[in-house]
Amino acid sequence: MTRRRSAGFSLIEVLSAMAILSIIVLLVARLFADSTQTWKVGSRRVDQDFNARAALELIGRQLTMAMVDTVLTMRVQSGPNDFFGNPSHRVTFASFDQRAEIRNQMPYRDVQQVQYRLVPPTTNPPVGWMLVRFVTQNERLTVYECYKRRDWTGVMDAYLPEYGNVVAEHVARFNVYVYVPGPGGAPIRVDDYNSAVHPPPLWMDIVMFLMDEDDAIRAAHLEGTARSNYLQRNVRRYVHRAFPHNWPGMNKF
């Protein structure tokens, strides 16, 4: 009488199945981790793009409504060094982008004295610069120098409020390039612009380099060439073109 072999798996078969199952689990886990990382990066990029657009549209709207002439002068000059170690721009102008009204029983003018500039962070190490807007618009204040003197942009710092509004964080670079008519009418760029001595601009290009928070923290712990290379790979450049409303450049180009 022959004995029948009981049904089942051998040890080799069980080990082989476990090895295959382990490989499948690892592949699925890796795929899930990659998908999660891709989603995080995409989400950070979307937030960064939204913040950049909001900041540039605010600056562009105010520059579009700026009075750029020899009376209410506008000035673009060098500001503090940016995250790359290069001089940023500081732009000061008088803008008519609001209407005169009463707020909290206080009268506000239709003219704002505005200045945008980078403010270095107070953290150590520095984690990205902040783009800050300083503005005076309360009619009871006696600091409306733009009505009193043509060189008011040069003394604006002495009358600015101590704290401004943060327009964007983790800014690596901020510049405002002003283009004016050159010889023969061809546009040329003026880096140190003063409407008291230069022609009214044809247009102004607002350029801003942004990082997300994680990249800003990593870059803050790097130095020299390592930081420059990291910034070149991870910052994103945003540009907005603004045309002043009191100059026909917007109809020519």
Block residue for tokens 């964080």: 169
pLDDT band at 184 (very low <50, low <70, confident <90, very high): confident
Q: Is residue 18 part of a domain?
A: no
Work out whether the CA dihedral 17, 23, 27, 30 comes out positive or negative.
positive
pLDDT band at 183 (very low <50, low <70, confident <90, very high): confident
How many domains, the chain?
1
At a CB cut-off of 8 Å and minimum separation 6, what does 15 contact? none
* pLDDT of 5 strictly over 60: no
Cis bond upstream, residue 125 (ω within 30): yes
What pTM was computed for the model? 0.76
What does residue 165 show for φ and ψ, rounded to 5 degrees? -95, 125
* DSSP structure class, residue 9: -
Q: Is residue 137 part of a domain?
A: yes
Q: Is residue 8 part of a domain?
A: no
| Residue 229 domain boundaries | 42-252
Q: Is residue 208 part of a domain?
A: yes
Work out whether the CA dihedral 140, 146, 151, 154 comes out positive or negative.
positive
Q: What is the mean pLDDT of the chain?
A: 80
pLDDT band at 250 (very low <50, low <70, confident <90, very high): very low
**Residues 229, 198: Cα–Cα separation, whole Å:** 37
* pLDDT of 2 strictly over 70: no
pLDDT band at 45 (very low <50, low <70, confident <90, very high): confident
Residue range 237-241: average pLDDT?
93
